[in-house]
Amino acid sequence: MSSRKTKMAEMPMPRLVLDMGFPLMFSLLIQSLYNIVDSIYVSRVSEKALTATSLAFPVQHLMIAISVGLSVGLNAVMARSAGSGNNKRAGNVATEGLVIALGISLVFAVLSLLLTQRVSAGMTDDPETAAMTASYMGICVLFSQGIFVEKVAQRTLTAVGLSRWSMYSQLTAAISNIILDPVLIFGMFGLPALGITGAAIATVAGQWLGAVIAVWANIRFNTQIRFSFRDLHFEHEDLQDVLRIGMPTMITQSLGSLMTALVNGILITFSSTAVAFFGVYYRLQNFVYMPVNGLGQAVLPIAAFSYGACNKARLKELWNVGIRYAVLFTLAGILIFELFPAPLLKLFNASEEMLAIGVPALRIIAVIFPFAAFTYISGYYSSGLGNAMVNLIGGMLRQVVVLVPLVWIFANFFGMHTVWYAFWIAELSACLYCYLCVKREKARKVEILPE
């Protein structure tokens, strides 16, 4: 048994979850941090520029959702294949995923050239904000190849326990973005000040650099799963497995894009400042959820590997460890949001109007963070067992089906200051659903395994 398989099969579960999860959590925190830093710099340009990034965010999030969903499906199939000793299938699946990712990114590039101006104009009546949105969104979509390749290559690393190199890849993307942002936005070292266009260039440059590091790390260090275009053959069974697991996650992640677009459409009828705040909130919220997301990304391949190895004891222990750690991380987020809402918003050059909207909103929404953590871990754990529908339906409940109608009802009948309570109801609904589903999955797939 190789050292990597020994690690996945025998390392004590709390240590394994942290060993695989910490690099992912740390890198995702840094990734979330550079989104926050990006917004902080953009807010120094103008509030309209900040609003433009908020309007463009659903399209960016859609690309991320598709790349993450694809890579989650690949991750589960590769980890399960590696766990059962079929490294040849795992390598073919990885190569298939890389080709598909590049194809999807090229489709987005074509759509960017054809539709960016029209979509941006439909988002706002203000010509200046529309022009900024088109500039930022157009560059991010046209050169999206980096983000797609980066995600697939990173998940190939995590499938065999090489989470640290996945972390290094994401750190490269984040740090380069943070460095390039002020240089390109405000003009430094003799370069012209590009404003919001500079922010977009910094974003895609970071994604491309992260992709290069992830691909290189696979070639250099991943001895179990190898990219091989010479022997590539598209297997119907492989693609079916990847889509069965990845598609629900892809749709779930895309729901965040749909949710922000719909909520922006509701809030903009009150003020553009409300839209700017919601964009700020979403980035701050992601900073809290990123450790949980990274933990979940570690839980998925461990669950898939343990399930492939029919290891009942490790599957049961994994569930308990994952939930415990996830809830603890979100408690730290609650403290920050409750104690320092105004300082957080002032980082984004918040006006008095934004502070009036945002301070109570942050304190209201923060209460629900632990329930969201339970939903996240439930989705990843179930995906590792081969059922990604838990992730899909849980995401639909918390982000669209329950949340958006309640936001509209609260805003139009009780005032905009009440819409944040809709997050409470949506998160509790999703949490209850996931609890019942995981209980069923464990009974059907874990409890029946031999001791």
Predicted local distance difference test score (pLDDT) of residue 342: 92
The amino acid sitting at 437 is C
Q: Residue 36 pLDDT > 90, yes or no?
A: no
Predicted local distance difference test score (pLDDT) of residue 409: 93
Give CA–CA dist 410/420, Å, rounded: 9
Predicted local distance difference test score (pLDDT) of residue 338: 93
Q: Residue 87 pLDDT > 70, yes or no?
A: no
* Tokens read off for 141: 């979509």
438 or 80, greater pLDDT: 438
Q: Residue 3 pLDDT > 60, yes or no?
A: no
Q: Residue 289 pLDDT > 90, yes or no?
A: no
Nearest CA-CA partner of 61 in 291, 281, 253: 253
Q: Is the pTM of this model over 0.75?
A: no
Give CA–CA dist 72/79, Å, rounded: 10
394 within some domain: yes
Most confident of 260-274, 284-298, 304-318, 358-372: 358-372
HSE at residue 309, side-chain half, CA atoms within 13 A, is: 21
Give CA–CA dist 95/98, Å, rounded: 5
Q: Residue 417 pLDDT > 50, yes or no?
A: yes
> Confidence band (pLDDT; 50, 70, 90) for 132?
confident
Exposed (0-12), middle (13-18) or buried (19+): which is 237, by Cβ within 10 Å?
exposed
Predicted local distance difference test score (pLDDT) of residue 82: 65
Most confident of 64-68, 427-431, 443-447: 427-431
Lowest-pLDDT choice from 141-150, 238-247, 267-276, 347-356: 238-247
pLDDT tens, position by position, 353-376: 889 988 999 999 999 999 999 999
Predicted local distance difference test score (pLDDT) of residue 406: 94
Q: Residue 1 pLDDT > 60, yes or no?
A: no
148 or 167, greater pLDDT: 148
Q: How far is CA 385 from the centre of its chain?
A: 20
Predicted local distance difference test score (pLDDT) of residue 83: 64
Q: Residue 2 pLDDT > 60, yes or no?
A: no
Residue 444, number of CB atoms within 10 A of its CB? 11
Predicted local distance difference test score (pLDDT) of residue 177: 87
374 within some domain: yes
Tally of structural domains, the chain: 1
Share of the chain above pLDDT 70, in %: 90
Distance (Å) of CA 288 to CA 18, 292, 383 = 17, 8, 22
> What is the rounded end-to-end Cα distance, in angstroms, of the chain?
21
438 within some domain: yes
397 within some domain: yes
Residue pair 291/67 in contact (Cβ under 8 Å)? The answer is no
pLDDT tens, position by position, 204-216: 999 899 999 988 9
pLDDT tens, position by position, 374-388: 999 998 898 888 887
What's the mean pLDDT when you consider all of the chain? 83
Q: What is the CA radius of gyration of the chain?
A: 21
Residue pair 428/372 in contact (Cβ under 8 Å)? The answer is no
> Confidence band (pLDDT; 50, 70, 90) for 123?
confident
Full domain range(s) for residue 192:
3-446
451 within some domain: no
Element (H, E) at 390: helix 389-396
Distance (Å) of CA 66 to CA 201, 250, 253, 375 = 21, 5, 7, 20
Nearest CA-CA partner of 362 in 385, 378, 381, 346: 346
DSSP letter, residue 225: S
DSSP letter, residue 229: S
Most confident of 86-95, 209-218, 252-261, 297-306: 209-218
339 within some domain: yes
Nearest CA-CA partner of 243 in 63, 74, 381, 385: 74
In 46-162, which ranges are continuous DSSP H helix? 47-83, 87-123, 127-142, 145-158
232 or 191, greater pLDDT: 191
Give CA–CA dist 297/159, Å, rounded: 10
19 or 448, greater pLDDT: 19
Give the pLDDT mean for 104-127: 84
Share of the chain above pLDDT 90, in %: 20
